[in-house]
Amino acid sequence: MLARVPGRADIALVSLGTTMGLREADAAFASLVRAAGASCEVVPVRFGATVALRRRSMALIDLVEALSARHTAAGVRAGAIVYSTVTAALLRPAHDVPVAVRFDGTAGLNRPGRGGAWQRRRERHALADAALLLPWSTPAQAAAADAAGAGVPPSIVFPPPLPAVEAARHVPADAPDAIAYAANPDKRGLELLCEAWARARPGAATLAIGGIEREAGLRWLARSGVAEPPGIVWLGRVEREHWLGLVASAGVFVSAARIEDWGLAQMEALAVGTPLVATPAPGANASLPLARRLAPALVAAQRSAPSLADALRAGLALDAGERAAYAASAAELLEPFGEAALRRRMADEILPRLLSSSV
């Protein structure tokens, strides 16, 4: 039996929302809560004047985000509260209702070195004090168990729902031979991507790069000492429906990431049946083991331009039958990430733990 409080949302989701991917994941989570029969209020974190400090250093960025989330969450009232990231929960206030932490990665995974020292120390308490952890992947689940130690609370792997193939049926007239996402050019390895493309590009093939405007992309390449290769189409920001159509129509999706928290763009590519060419990026990277199972030759042996170029050539050489077989196998592997499976998990496992009268 779910315990309801009149006048309050069943679930309040404290949404850090610092990237489009996180905002979409939070909106999808709220939709799944509602589909399972509970109410959900998405509470965006308010940054105010402190937003100007967020470019100084990673340690300061995380501090500003954690403090902003703390101030936002202080006035939240609901049957249970879910924090959308570990960072949002690092300095959370005390709540008199169950708290869950949802995350794609931990500070232990993506905040190495001195710049992540305080975050790694604090995350042990933030995770151990929660009633429930909701990692996006099994690597993130394992990292949280390491961080929380003996006090690790119950944990349910709960990834964002992936789009159905039907969501990307529209094939644009400007379908690219390859497509990549580089909103954060450092993290996404834009310079390595372009180096590999320059080596592997067949004939007049095109590589469409989303998430970054040409001017910003060229500035990053210049800083990295890499020339813009031929065949690049800079997409900038793209509406989601058109983006999924482009990804579904592309010959391959290419990832040159340095580190990957979950791999949302890559997972979406697999969901719409597009072969994934990738580097072996560390982190809570759910897409990497799937890509290796589907086509090992499309995963670079190491993170280098020659190795990624080899994987690119293999991906671009796939014929229609091989692509169809790849898409069918990907659909089978991704069934647990579909909306129907996640809705059942929300109704049967998550909401009873957070809203049960026995909590």
Sorting pLDDT into bands at 50, 70 and 90, what band is 49? low
- At residue 51, the pLDDT reads 53
Within the chain, residue ranges assigned H as helices are 20-35, 58-73, 86-89, 107-110, 117-128, 138-148, 185-188, 190-200, 214-224, 240-249, 264-271, 287-294, 305-316, 320-333, 339-345, 351-355
Q: Domain spanning 165-336: which superfamily? A: Glycogen Phosphorylase B; (3.40.50.2000)
Sorting pLDDT into bands at 50, 70 and 90, what band is 240? confident
Model confidence over 259-290: pLDDT tens digits?
Answer: 988 889 999 999 999 999 999 998 888 999 99
CATH of domain 9-160+338-355: 3.40.50.2000
Query: Which of these, 164, 186, 173, 314, lies nearest to 244 by C-alpha position?
Result: 164
Question: Phi first, then psi: what are they for 231, rounded to 5°?
Answer: 85, 5
Can you tell me the distance from the alpha carbon of 10 to that of 24, in angstroms, rounded to the nearest whole number? 20
Q: Mention every residue, 6+ apart, whose C-beta is less than 8 A from residue 185.
A: 191, 212, 216, 217, 220
Can you tell me the distance from the alpha carbon of 279 to that of 130, in angstroms, rounded to the nearest whole number? 34
Model confidence over 75-106: pLDDT tens digits?
Answer: 899 999 999 999 999 999 999 999 999 999 89
- What does the pLDDT average to over 45-59? 68
pTM: 0.82
Question: Phi first, then psi: what are they for 274, rounded to 5°?
Answer: -90, 125
Model confidence over 187-196: pLDDT tens digits?
Answer: 999 999 999 9
Residue 167: is its pLDDT beyond 90? no
DSSP assigned state of 297: G
- The boundaries of every CATH 3.40.50.2000 domain in the chain are 9-160+338-355, 165-336
- What does the pLDDT average to over 202-212? 96
Sorting pLDDT into bands at 50, 70 and 90, what band is 299? very high
What is the rounded radius of gyration, in angstroms, for the C-alpha atoms of the chain?
21
Query: Which of these, 254, 280, 250, lies nearest to 196 by C-alpha position?
Result: 254
For residue 170, the SS3 value is coil
To the nearest 10 degrees (0 to 180), the angle between helices 190-200 and 305-316 is 60
For residue 23, the SS3 value is helix
Sorting pLDDT into bands at 50, 70 and 90, what band is 150? confident
- What does the pLDDT average to over 5-34? 89
HSE-CB at 175 with a 13 A cutoff on CA atoms is 14
For residue 142, the SS3 value is helix
Model confidence over 315-359: pLDDT tens digits?
Answer: 999 999 999 999 999 999 999 998 999 999 999 999 999 998 544
Residue 145: is its pLDDT beyond 90? yes
Structure tokens at 149: 């130690």
Structure tokens at 319: 């014929």
User: Do 78 and 39 form a contact (C-beta atoms < 8 A)?
Assistant: no
User: Do 143 and 284 form a contact (C-beta atoms < 8 A)?
Assistant: yes
- At residue 358, the pLDDT reads 40
* Torsion sign, CA atoms 339, 342, 348, 350: negative
Q: Average pLDDT over the chain, rounded to whole?
A: 91
Question: What is the share, in percent, of the chain residues with pLDDT greater than 70?
Answer: 92
Reported as type and span, the H/E element at residue 180 is strand 178-181
